[in-house]
Amino acid sequence: MTPVPTALLAGLDRHLPGLLDLYRDLHAHPELSHQEFRTAGIVAARLRGQGWAVTEGVGGTGVVGVLGSGPGPVVLLRADMDALPVREATGLPYASTRTATDAAGREVPVMHACGHDVHVTCLLGATALLAENRHAWRGTVVAVFQPAEEVGGAPAMVADHFAERFPRPDVCLAQHVTPAPAGLVATRPGTFMAASDSLAVRLHGRGGHGSAPEAAVDPVVMAAATVMRLQTVVSREVAADRSAVVTVASLHAGTRENVIPDTADLTVNIRSTTPAVREHVLAAVERIVRAEAAASAAPQEPDITVVNGFPMTVNDAEATATVQAALRADLGRDRVLDLPRPLTGSEDFGAFGAALGAPSVYWTFGGLDPAAFAGADLLADGIPTEIPHNHSPLFAPVPEPTLELGVRHLLLAATPWLDTDRKREK
């Protein structure tokens, strides 16, 4: 890799062994959303040791560091900290064996199956270099370590008087590791990721003996019919040139094989990439849930509760072009992809820019061995299905060179706003 001449990166090689150790430690000690106490403590201690002004407990377990170096723009850099209720199956020597109690009171396995341990490590590497190289930049950096990505973490931090407590940014930047070759970055102006809406559904039946279903109203059959019917929303109600995803990710009912229960509980997740499709799909899901209950002669209407929802992640066009130019100067033009369409994954990072009135740029970067993608056309065909994706128990970014690249991406993306020794690429 040909290094880009910027003093912001001075000392990165020296920090890499420590960052590798930190990453392995975070990976082995994951924490669920809104429970990131240990991670937040590590983040706060490291930021203070680097010389940042630190505020803890923002929006729950969020940590915010502020560092200034003279007058100039304000840049917000964000990393998310939470892990998932997934049992790790990577076989790594630093694999997680942790369990925790989730919000419903269940004991669940915990794993950094989405790579947020990579994000925390990379941002802490970037904050260390920003602190050491303050002579090389002008402005203010707000480092945000967010809890509960996709589960209300960003809105919670915003609601905790973020705008009044911290410098207002001129740009908000964030990144996410993906199952793509290390050294590859992808972004696009405009809509980058889908909106996300999660619903909890309780279907009401009438319990009874398994030998006499005619005397009961079986919510298990009602739930099964609902799940199958929901599969038609995208295939029959969304145009082929639009995109949406409807996923029923959990279904719980009953306690014994010979007892028909009174209720069945579903969770439904919806992704959409235009406001019109979002509105239509949400209405279709509710229509189907209520219609299947009526068709089953349910004794009462279903309970449909909104668990969370947040809009599409939208990249500012001008700021995105600036970030792309900065990253292409480092990686090369062919390594920074301009995606042809939005991703169906979702992010709540956009809550910061929307609430603070600042342009946002979000990008993904590869974290896997490039050899695993030999012959694959990622833009045309997507990630090969045999490659473990985010949220898989087998998802395991390779620490080298992923961590080094993640630190570089953050600093180089911020460079055009920080009046450094690097010339802007237009």
Mean of the per-residue pLDDT values of the chain? 94
Q: Looking at the predicted structure, is the pLDDT value of residue 194 above 60?
A: yes
Active-site pick, 149, 330, 348, 404: 149
> How would you label 32-70 residue by residue, b for 16+ Cβ within 10 Å and e otherwise?
bbbbbeebbebbbebbeebebebbeebbbbbbbbbbbbe
Q: Give tens-digit pLDDT for 13-26.
A: 999 999 999 999 99
Residues 232 and 133 in one domain: no
- Count of beta carbons in the 10 Å neighbourhood of residue 423: 11
1 domain residue, yes or no: no
Q: Give tens-digit pLDDT for 310-347.
A: 889 999 999 999 999 999 999 999 999 999 989 999 99
Residue 24 tokens read as: 């392995």
303-310 and 259-260 strand pairing:
unpaired
Question: What CA–CA distance (Å, rounded) separates 75 from 91?
Answer: 38
Q: Looking at the predicted structure, is the pLDDT value of residue 421 above 60?
A: no
Q: Looking at the predicted structure, is the pLDDT value of residue 150 above 90?
A: no
Residues 184 and 234 in one domain: no
Query: For the domain that residue 36 is a member of, what is the CATH number?
Result: 3.40.630.10
Query: For the domain that residue 281 is a member of, what is the CATH number?
Result: 3.30.70.360
- Torsion angle, CA of 243/183/88/194, rounded to 10 degrees? -20
The share of the chain scoring above pLDDT 90, in percent, equals 90
Active-site pick, 82, 117, 218, 262: 82
Query: What's the pTM?
Result: 0.90
Higher pLDDT, 228 or 371: 228
Residues 60 and 127 in one domain: yes
Check residue 425 and give its pLDDT: 39
Residue 107 is a catalytic residue: no
Q: Give tens-digit pLDDT for 85-114.
A: 999 999 999 999 999 999 989 999 999 999
Q: Looking at the predicted structure, is the pLDDT value of residue 1 above 70?
A: no
Q: Looking at the predicted structure, is the pLDDT value of residue 3 above 50?
A: no
Residues 182 and 199 in one domain: no
Please report which confidence band the pLDDT of residue 420 belongs to, taking 50, 70 and 90 as the band edges. low
Question: What CA–CA distance (Å, rounded) separates 339 from 336?
Answer: 9
54 domain residue, yes or no: yes
Residues 21 and 137 in one domain: yes
Helix (H, G, I), strand (E, B) or coil at 88: coil
Please report which confidence band the pLDDT of residue 413 belongs to, taking 50, 70 and 90 as the band edges. very high
How many domains does the chain fold into? 2
Residues 304 and 355 in one domain: no
Mean pLDDT, range 111-129, rounded to an integer: 98
Mean pLDDT, range 207-236, rounded to an integer: 97
Residues 163 and 201 in one domain: no
Mean pLDDT, range 260-265, rounded to an integer: 98
Question: What CA–CA distance (Å, rounded) separates 163 from 160?
Answer: 9
53 domain residue, yes or no: yes
Question: What CA–CA distance (Å, rounded) separates 90 from 45?
Answer: 30
Residues 118 and 81 in one domain: yes
Judge whether 167 and 71 are in contact, CB under 8 Å.
no
Question: What CA–CA distance (Å, rounded) separates 410 from 78?
Answer: 9
Domain boundary among 309, 337, 372: 309
Domain boundary among 269, 290, 309: 309
Q: Looking at the predicted structure, is the pLDDT value of residue 129 above 80?
A: yes
Residue 383 tokens read as: 């990630």
Mean pLDDT, range 172-178, rounded to an integer: 98
Residues 3, 358, 176, 62, CA torsion sign:
positive
Please report which confidence band the pLDDT of residue 308 belongs to, taking 50, 70 and 90 as the band edges. confident
Please report which confidence band the pLDDT of residue 383 belongs to, taking 50, 70 and 90 as the band edges. confident
2 domain residue, yes or no: no
Judge whether 406 and 119 are in contact, CB under 8 Å.
yes
H/E element holding 101?
strand 99-101
425 domain residue, yes or no: no
Residues 172 and 42 in one domain: yes
371 domain residue, yes or no: yes
Please report which confidence band the pLDDT of residue 374 belongs to, taking 50, 70 and 90 as the band edges. confident
H/E element holding 197?
strand 190-204
Judge whether 29 and 100 are in contact, CB under 8 Å.
no
Bridge-partner residues for 66, per DSSP?
53, 142
- Residues 6+ away with beta carbon under 8 Å from 400: 16, 20
Please report which confidence band the pLDDT of residue 238 belongs to, taking 50, 70 and 90 as the band edges. very high
Residues 160 and 294 in one domain: no
Please report which confidence band the pLDDT of residue 275 belongs to, taking 50, 70 and 90 as the band edges. very high
Residue 206 lies in domain: 195-309
Mean pLDDT, range 184-212, rounded to an integer: 96
Residue 292 is a catalytic residue: no
Domain boundary among 309, 344, 370: 309
Q: Looking at the predicted structure, is the pLDDT value of residue 382 above 50?
A: yes
Mean pLDDT, range 220-240, rounded to an integer: 97
Residues 339 and 212 in one domain: no
Residues 353 and 290 in one domain: no
369 domain residue, yes or no: yes
Check residue 126 and give its pLDDT: 98
Q: Looking at the predicted structure, is the pLDDT value of residue 269 above 60?
A: yes
269 domain residue, yes or no: yes
